[in-house]
Amino acid sequence: MPGQDKQLSNTRKRRRRRRRQVALPAETISPFRLRLVFSILLIGLLGLVSRMAWLQIHQTTELQARARAFQIQKIQPLGARRSIVDRNGRLVALDEQRFHLWAHPNNFRFPGDDSRSLRTPVDVARKLAGLVPKTTQELVDLIGDRSSGVRLARDIEPEVASEIKKLGISGLELEPYLQRVYPQGELFANVVGFLNDDRVPLAGLEQSLNEMLSRKKEPVRRLRLAGDDTPLPDDLAPGVFFRDDAQLQLTLDSRLQELSAKALEVAISDWSAKKGVAIVMDVTNGEILALASAPTYNPNRFWDYSPALYKEWSVQDLFEPGSTFKPINLALALQEGVITPDGTVNDTGIIKVGGWSLRNYDLGSNGVLNFAEVLQASSNIAMVKVMQNLKPSRYWDWLHRLGVNQTPNTDLPGAVAGYLKPKKEFVDKPIEPAVASYGHGLSLTPLKLAQLHALIANGGYLVSPHITRGVKGVEPLRPSGRSNGEPLLRPEVTRVVRGWMESVVETDSVYGFKKIDGYRIGGKTGTADKLVNGVFGGGLKICSFVANLPADNPRYVVLVVVDEPRGGGAYGSTVAAPAAKKIIEGLLVLEKIPPSD
């Protein structure tokens, strides 16, 4: 209806007027406030830009380094030292992980304990008593009233450490470290040596080949990691995950080493001797298959032994070889042509040289002897007469050429030179070449004597004795076959001397070394009086025996030397020869040497 429409229109107008009346009037913002707000925003923006410029320009290097510290992992090869193995790969020395066990009593809690409670040392000690080599009371006493940093045990093996971790006891800390372990114990101590508790090498190959035995230490760089520590594929160089697992391989054979050590111990025990050494050498290349010394020590517990035992006396101590040097002298006489293979010499039992009266060891005479019989009878007088045919100056030159007074070329640690009188004294005093003819007046090491007999056995070549073949995985190993040494003697000369040495064993003149059926073996005994305060006559001796085998085509030299055996009847044939025979019998089996016949 018209009236109603007009009334509705008026109502709407009144409502619009009320809305316009309640609206706030607009205020004008002052120019100062606008400039202030703009300035604050501008300053903040300039600050951010300046900071970004500072970081990008002046701190780039530092920030990159800090980022790389989080993003890049440095990989170190496990273990700090290479293992040592024998010729057959049997472990001789290796690094194993061990643990120190530390206690922090102010944090002692068992799994599930309230964080505000603490367990007593007695509670923890009861749990540990069956795992560490200490009783409950010993552990409690060790902890005492200290609140932290107590070492409860050391040298804990990984298996035991794992059991301790399973206990889940808060306040126990296992600190890992590397321990040098020698699985063979005393067997190789004389040549391998050991590391002390600070991993410092103090003896043997561990010391002399320290650089070679140290593992590669350069860390791998630029190995980028993702957030979950996954290596990223970019920038990975070939061999980035390489670990140095190389091993130092010895020429020694654990089986023959053990056999030699036992034979030597029996000889020393039976004769109450001071010490002894046994050497087995491959005459074709100088490889040493066995080098046993007694007494020795356990490198795993080196602190229980005298430091005097740490050195290897076969390469560091000198002795007068006595009659085992006679085959060397006969070879020199043959080489120089002053004797012939079928010649003879008259053993009169006594001879005067330079005012000195020289005799045989048994004070007897043997009459006319061929040179095989000279060795069989071990005649001193016959040897003096033989070497008198060789000019003293020429004789000295040969001894020097053989290296008697020089350090042998060997990788054995601590090797020393032998002793030979100065040339002028040797030439001017007739007594010097006379006593040298039967192995006195000069001195050398057992290793040098073995090297010289290898010269006779291999046809006249002076090979270098050695006990290492190289580092497997890093460098080519030395070949195990024949190697060329320095040629010194004619092969026909050495062949004749080997025949004379074989006759010594064939005629049973070596009482402690009966012939081994089916095998041809050459040998020679030696019994030398020791100097005591510069004079002989104290009753002290060094007994030795040297052999080469098989005599028809020798491959090995075996030498046994026993120092200061006690009791009557102590000679090379009775003291050293039986030990050498045991070693040779084992060598024939281990090396599968067929019979000569």
Give me the residues paired with residue 249 across strands: 85, 470
pLDDT given for residue 240 in this prediction: 45
Which residues are within 8 A (CB) of 12 and not within 5 positions of it... i.e. 6 or more apart?
none
Residue 336 Cα to chain centre, angstroms: 42
pLDDT of residue 239: 47
> Tokens for 31?
């120019």
**For residue 242, what pLDDT is reported?**
46
The domain ranges of the chain are 56-76+215-245, 95-183, 254-299+313-470+485-590
The sign of the torsion formed by the CA atoms of 245, 249, 253, 258 equals negative
Write phi, then psi, for 355 (nearest 5 degrees).
Answer: 85, 0
- Is residue 375 within 8 Å of residue 410, measured between CB atoms? no
> Could you tell me where the DSSP H helices lie in 249-293?
254-270
| Tens digit of pLDDT at every position of the chain (597 positions) | 555 555 656 666 666 655 555 555 666 777 777 778 888 888 888 888 888 887 778 777 777 777 666 555 555 444 478 999 999 999 999 998 899 999 999 989 999 888 888 999 999 999 998 899 889 998 999 988 888 888 999 889 999 999 999 999 999 999 988 889 999 999 999 999 999 888 899 999 999 999 889 876 555 445 555 555 555 555 555 444 445 578 999 999 999 999 999 999 999 999 999 999 999 999 999 999 999 999 999 999 999 999 999 989 899 999 999 999 999 999 999 999 999 999 999 999 999 998 899 999 888 999 999 999 999 999 999 999 999 999 999 999 999 999 999 999 999 999 999 999 999 999 999 999 999 999 999 999 999 999 999 999 999 999 999 999 988 866 777 777 677 788 999 999 999 999 999 999 988 777 777 788 889 999 999 999 887 666 666 779 999 999 999 998 999 999 999 999 998 889 999 999 999 999 999 999 999 999 986
DSSP state of 148: S
Is the distance from CB of 184 to CB of 174 less than 8 angstroms?
Answer: no
Q: How far is CA 563 from CA 121, 314, 513, in A?
A: 56, 11, 19
Q: How far is CA 499 from the centre of its chain?
A: 38
Please give the pLDDT value at position 185.
94
What are the φ/ψ torsions at residue 117 (nearest 5 degrees)?
A: -105, 160
Given CATH 3.40.50.1820, say whether it is the number of domain 95-183: no
Count the neighbouring beta carbons within 10 Å of the beta carbon of residue 179. Answer: 17
Q: Yes or no: is domain 254-299+313-470+485-590 CATH 3.40.50.2300?
A: no
Q: Indicate the residue type of 359.
A: R
Q: Which helix (H) or strand (E) holds 376?
A: helix 371-377
* Interatomic CA distance for residues 288 and 282, integer angstroms: 6
CA atoms lying within 13 Å on the CB side of residue 156? 26
What one-character-per-residue DSSP string does 64-128 give?
Answer: HHHHHHHHB--B--S-SB-EEE-TTS-EEEEEEEEEEEEE-GGG-B-TT--TT----HHHHHHHH
The predicted pLDDT at position 241 comes to 46
